[in-house]
Amino acid sequence: MRISESELIERYFIGRGAARAGDVRIGIGDDAAVVAVPRGCELVLTTDVQVEGVHFLKSAPPRALGHRALAVNLSDIAAMGGEPSWMLLSLVLPDARERWLREFSRALGALATRAGVALVGGNLSRGPLSITIALVGLVPAGKALRRDGARAGDDLYVSGTLGDAAGGLELLRRRGGISTAAARYLRRRFEYPQARVALGQALRGIASACIDVSDGLYVDASRLLSASECSATLELEALPVSAPLRQLCGSRALTLALSGGEDYELCFTAPDRQRAALARLARRLRLPIARIGTVRRGAGGLQLRGLDGKSVTQFSALAFDHFGVTQTGRSRRHRR
Amino acid sequence: MRISESELIERYFIGRGAARAGDVRIGIGDDAAVVAVPRGCELVLTTDVQVEGVHFLKSAPPRALGHRALAVNLSDIAAMGGEPSWMLLSLVLPDARERWLREFSRALGALATRAGVALVGGNLSRGPLSITIALVGLVPAGKALRRDGARAGDDLYVSGTLGDAAGGLELLRRRGGISTAAARYLRRRFEYPQARVALGQALRGIASACIDVSDGLYVDASRLLSASECSATLELEALPVSAPLRQLCGSRALTLALSGGEDYELCFTAPDRQRAALARLARRLRLPIARIGTVRRGAGGLQLRGLDGKSVTQFSALAFDHFGVTQTGRSRRHRR
């Protein structure tokens, strides 16, 4: 391999994505990028790393990785109500496989363009495959959504459907696999998550608190409640579960919807006077928004109410944690 | 190991560094950080990854890694004349060694505090050891230093001394090693690079172009000249070489000063009317600033003039490149 880092960057990364307003003063090619911030905006900053064998399977297609590496960061910006704007990419690769780079960078660039994000810098390095993106977004000053704003009496909501990504990951692990439309749908939900950026921005002024569902609804909703020093009752009947998940996972669908990670939907709370506004928003965005529970005063986390109206105590939801297992239910097991 | 990612983050990373003006609205613990940007400033954005076995030796002490991972990013911000402000950390670790984390995070935090940088977010993940930092700085609008501003007639400068880090790395590779003061000095220059942040900011309005010396003076000065569509003559006699490097590397000192990477000094150009201002600046910062050459019109890169006043053509300087070798001289070899 006789191609240099700067040649690879020029070939595959310069010009990827799209700045929204010509606000990139100096892009790739200097020591650092320089960008202009619109007046009245604060910055939203996040980063996420995807490591081979930890966050994705060795068989993962480069297109999915390019999409996913950005999508998980977009989801963090979405959960703050931010407008994603500029990104930096650190790509560690065992070798300079040009076909891999072409497919990866195309998918990354396509999602960046759709999201209005410009790739303004980064680096390529040799080493075990990992992808780190740092993403900078904008939010009107003081208007960011937070985790800690939920109040007693608020409704608890979640966007989209839950558990699909976990179902898709299970299917990807079974090599050979099923090729029905339902299976393709679930695999796609894992490989190509759709960050709810438009929803997040629309929730400014409506939601009282917000978090993205990356580690499973049970865990992430509990985090929101803990930050807000509240508890909540969640109606299992109200959980949005897709037809493909019911079809392929049957009775386990509800468990996956509660504890399966990586759906990258938004879980949020809002006062009940916002119900009509949220119904309109769901129609406008063509995205289901399900009211799944009610926030209550005091600690106690997330209580589940079953189909018969009785409290469910046997449910074991387990957070995925890279350094051990966070117990949130009664049993322990490693999700991967 | 039963400690969670969030516990580790709380124990070792929350509150590291220091925000300069209470401008962190939301720090670690939400989906993303939110920070306020002073009016009239543009953002300077950079990221750098350090991979075990590629950018540092397996034997590298965690303190040095914590320092170095931030220092290399500070150097990029310095080269743009920026004020480093907020950072995001992605740390990939084979396991949660608490002693390692303690030493790493202390060193990272100490340098961040000195540099006025707040750690506002990031993540820990399991995997082969690598450290990625994304650093955001501020610069008055339109005042960033660039690579492409050098003009014919400008002087060419470099800060500090050159080749020390390359000499230090050679010593670190020889296990057992020498323990003289000179050897300790060189090893320290590799392990604990000092980014020239104050110099970079002071050069706004003085320098016409600037780059940091990460891949060796010959390569980096050539990049600056290429971006500026100029060439230059460099006086070998004027190259700043430290006494420890001369002492331990003898006749190879000059080669290391030209081609050794990772010194993280600043190489810059300025019109000759700035000579007095630069002399004052060097005294104020207690940092040597050496005038090492003159910028000329047209392409042709960097010509070297030897001690006898004759042009040197046999010199082979080789850029370090993670994906091959960039030939800038006559021979090819892998630096690591």
Q: What is the DSSP string of A212-223?
A: EESS-HHHHHHH
Short-list B117, B122, B130, B116, CA closest to B12: B122
Contact B127 A324 (CB under 8 A): no
Residues B86-96, mean pLDDT to the nearest whole number = 93
3-state secondary structure of B322: coil
Contact A86, A38 (CB under 8 A): no
The answer to whether A336 contacts chain B (CB < 8 Å) is no
Range of the domain at B103: 5-140
pLDDT by residue (tens digit) across B140-168?
A: 999 999 999 999 999 999 999 999 999 99
The whole-angstrom separation of Cα A166 and Cα A190 is 7
The DSSP output letter for B37 is P
SS in 3 state form for A266-318?
EEEEECHHHHHHHHHHHHHHCCCEEEEEEEEECCCCEEEECCCCCEECCCCCE
Residue type, A181: A
Residue B186 confidence (pLDDT) above 70: yes
Cα B129 to Cα A89, A117, B4, B56, distances in angstroms = 18, 29, 18, 10
Interchain contact, B54 vs A144, CB within 8 Å: no
Shared domain check, A272 and A161: yes
Whether the Cβ atoms of residue B136 and residue B32 lie closer than 8 Å to each other: no
Q: How far is B286 from chain A (nearest CA, A)?
A: 24
Q: Computed over its alpha carbons, how large is the radius of gyration of chain B?
A: 20
Does A246 fall in a domain?
A: yes
Does the residue B324 lie in any domain?
A: no
User: Does residue B322 lie in a domain region?
Assistant: no
Q: Same domain, yes or no, for B220 and B269? A: yes
The CATH number of residue B302's host domain is: 3.90.650.10
Q: Quick check: B47 and A144 CB within 8 A?
A: no
Q: Which residue of B has its CA nearest to A32?
A: B46
Torsion of CA A238, A71, A129, B117, to 10 degrees: -110
Distance from CA of B329 to the nearest CA of A (A): 15
The answer to whether the Cβ–Cβ distance between A92 and B49 falls below 8 Å is yes
Q: Is the pLDDT of residue B307 over 80?
A: no
* Whether A134 and B139 lie within 8 Å, measured CB to CB: no
Asked if residue B334 is part of any domain, the answer here is no
How far apart CA B34 and CA A187 sit, in angstroms, is 33
Residues B122 and B193 in one domain: no
Nearest by CB: A124 against B3, B322, B325: B322
Which helix (H) or strand (E) covers residue B67, if one does? helix B62-79
CB B218, CB B312: distance < 8 Å: no
Which residue bears the tokens 């505090």?
B113
pLDDT at B2: 58
- What percent of chain B is modeled with pLDDT above 70? 90
Number of domains in chain A: 2
pLDDT bin (cut points 50, 70, 90) of residue B327 is: very low
Same-domain check for residues A22 and A131: yes
Chain A residues lying within 8 Å of B41, measured CB to CB: 37
Chosen for mutation from A2, A47, A210 (greatest number of chain B CBs closer than 10 Å) is A47
**Angle formed at CA A45 by CA A49 and CA A38, multiple of 5 degrees:** 140
pLDDT value at residue B18: 80
The span from the first CA to the last CA of chain B, in angstroms, equals 35
Residue B328 placed within a domain = no
SS3 A232: strand
Q: Are A162 and A118 within one domain?
A: no
Residues B257 and B112 in one domain: no
Surface of A (211-240) touching B: CB under 8 A: 211-212, 227
Residues of B in contact with A31 (CB under 8 A): 46, 75-76, 79-80, 147, 210-212
Would you state the structure tokens that stand for residue B46, as one six-digit string?
């950079």
Residue A332 is assigned to a structural domain of this protein: no
Cα–Cα distances (Å) from A56 to A62, A75, A127, A174, in that order, read 11, 17, 16, 14
Answer positive or negative: Cα dihedral of A110, A94, B171, B332: negative
Asked if B243 contacts B182 with a C-beta cutoff of 8 angstroms, the reply is yes
Phi, psi of A240 (to 5 degrees): -80, 110
What is the reported pLDDT for A187?
94
Order across the sheet with A155-159: list the strands.
Answer: A209-213, A265-270, A155-159, A289-297, A230-235, A302-305, A311-312
Specify whether A114 is located in the same domain as A221: no
Report how far residue A306's alpha carbon sits from residue A186's, in angstroms, rounded to the nearest whole number: 25
Q: What integer is the mean pLDDT of B217-239?
A: 96
Whether residues A133 and A176 fall in one domain? no
- Kindly state whether residues A173 and A268 are assigned to the same domain: yes
B62 and B190 belong to one structural domain:
no
Output the average pLDDT for chain B.
Answer: 89
Q: Which of B109, B140, B171 is the last residue of a domain?
A: B140
Q: What is the pLDDT along chain A (336 residues), one digit of tens a residue?
A: 457 888 888 888 888 888 665 799 999 999 999 999 999 999 999 999 999 999 998 889 999 999 999 999 999 999 999 999 999 999 999 987 899 999 999 999 999 999 999 999 999 999 999 999 999 999 999 999 999 999 999 999 999 999 999 999 999 888 666 789 999 999 999 999 999 999 999 999 999 999 999 999 999 999 999 999 999 999 999 999 999 999 999 888 999 999 999 999 999 999 999 999 999 999 999 999 999 999 999 988 999 998 777 777 655 543 344 454 333 332 323 233
Length reported for chain B: 336
How many angstroms separate the CA atoms of A233 and A165, rounded?
Answer: 24
Residue A190 lies in a domain: yes
Spatial separation of the C-alpha atoms in residues B240 and B257, rounded to whole Å:
8
For residue A195, the chain B residues in CB contact (below 8 A) are none
**Span B317-332, mean pLDDT?**
37
Rounded to the nearest 5 degrees, what angle is found at the Cα of B281, between the Cα atoms of B276 and B287? 125
Q: Which of B86, B112, B140 is the last residue of a domain?
A: B140
**Is the same domain home to B217 and B128?**
no
Please list every residue in chain B whose beta carbon sits closer than 8 Å to the beta carbon of residue A209: none
Question: Going by C-beta distance under 8 Å and a sequence separation of 6 or more, which residues neighbour residue B251?
Answer: none
pLDDT of amino acid A21: 56
Compute φ and ψ for A11, nearest 5 degrees: -70, -35
Strands A24-26 and B311-312: unpaired
Pairs of residues, one from chain A and one from chain B, whose beta carbons lie less than 8 Å apart: 242
**A257 vs B332 pLDDT, higher one:** A257
Residue B27 has pLDDT above 60, yes or no: yes
d(CA A137, CA A115): 11
Closest in A79, A142, A321 to B31, CB measured:
A79
CATH, residue B67:
3.30.1330.10
Give the best residue of A13, A318, A323 to mutate against chain B (max B CB count within 10 A): A323
Among the ranges given (A84-98, B96-110, B242-256, B303-317), the one the predictor scored with the smallest mean pLDDT: B303-317
Determine the pLDDT at residue B299.
87
* Burial class (CB within 10 angstroms; exposed 0-12, middle 13-18, buried 19+) of B138: buried
Provide the pLDDT for residue A329: 30
What is the secondary structure of B146-202 as a DSSP string? Answer: -STT--TT-EEEEES-SSHHHHHHHHHHSSS---SHHHHHHHHHHHS----HHHHHH
Flag whether pLDDT at B318 surpasses 80: no
Instruction: Using the structure block, give the residue that is written with the tokens 């060097």.
Output: B282
Q: Are residues A178 and A311 in the same domain?
A: yes
- Shortest Cα–Cα distance, A24 to chain B (Å): 10
DSSP state at residue B122 = E
This model of the complex carries an ipTM of: 0.90
More confident residue, B288 or A12: B288
Q: CA quadruple A101, A104, A106, A108: dihedral positive or negative?
A: negative
Q: Would residue B331 count as lying in a domain?
A: no
